[in-house]
Amino acid sequence: MKNTMKYSHIEQAVFLERPNRFIAYVEQAGKREICHVKNTGRCRELLLPGAEIYIQRQSNPARKTPFDLIAVKKGERLINMDSQAPNKVTAQWLRKGGFCSPDALIKPECRYGNSRFDFYIEDGPRKIFMEVKGVTLEEEGIVRFPDAPTERGVKHIQELIACQKAGYEAYIFFVIQMKHVLFMEPNDRTHPAFGEALRRAAAEGVGILARDCLVKPDELEIDQEVEVRL
């Protein structure tokens, strides 16, 4: 069953530099162009000068940046680094029965108390909250999250624990935006508090899920389950 997210107007380019979190300079068709980076993470191991990248041409003439950076080639591995893509492709996956029945009620961006989760799902008697995290950091086949400290991520985990204690099912779903990985683990070197929170959540009954993705320059599709080592 396909859960494919498609992009239009994708073009190949070469990464030059990233002066701040939001923009990059790229070489496209022999010209230096400015490009919006759709990922505020560090991505230092991905965005190296000379890297082969794939960018999406935008049609809005009012935009200051005519392109969005979508994917990057790291060795032989293509990695989607669009931070909006994991939620979009997860919505497709859920609606096509990847996690729940195809007729389940699925509400994105759902509030609970003072929290807002990526998805709320009602599937028969099951009432489920799910938070989605995109993963782009890979070292020798091992993927890790996060690639930069994320207090927001720790807060999400604590809120999921509260949901679990209140009688809901709760899950954190890591969408690994690449293929051919060995396993996933929390990045304790970068943010030990996130790893501690994730292990506490697992002990409290929060489900920790991870799946890799089939990646093409113009496509992203959730694929196979990946082992999570806590």
pLDDT in 10s for each residue of the chain, 230 residues:
466 899 999 999 999 999 999 999 999 999 999 999 999 888 889 999 999 999 999 988 888 899 999 999 999 999 999 999 999 999 999 999 999 998 999 999 999 888 899 999 999 999 999 999 999 999 999 999 999 899 999 999 999 999 999 999 999 999 999 999 999 999 999 999 999 999 999 999 999 999 999 999 999 999 999 999 99
Q: How far apart are CA 96 and CA 110, in angstroms?
A: 20
Residue 181: strand, helix, or coil: coil
Select from 58, 63, 49 the least CA-distant residue to 13: 49
Considering the entire predicted model, what is its pTM?
0.95
**Residue 133 · residue 145 · CB < 8 Å:** yes
Residue owning tokens 């030059």:
16
Residue owning tokens 């929390």:
186
State residue 114 phi and psi, 5-degree precision: -95, 10
Structure tokens of 167? 């009688």
CATH number of the 4-80 domain: 2.40.50.580
Select from 50, 28, 48, 47 the least CA-distant residue to 37: 47
Q: How far apart are CA 204 and CA 62, in angstroms?
A: 49
Distance of CA 103 to the CA centre of its chain: 25
- Residue ranges covered by each domain of the chain: 4-80, 85-225
Select from 226, 175, 219 the least CA-distant residue to 4: 219
CATH number of the 85-225 domain: 3.40.1350.60
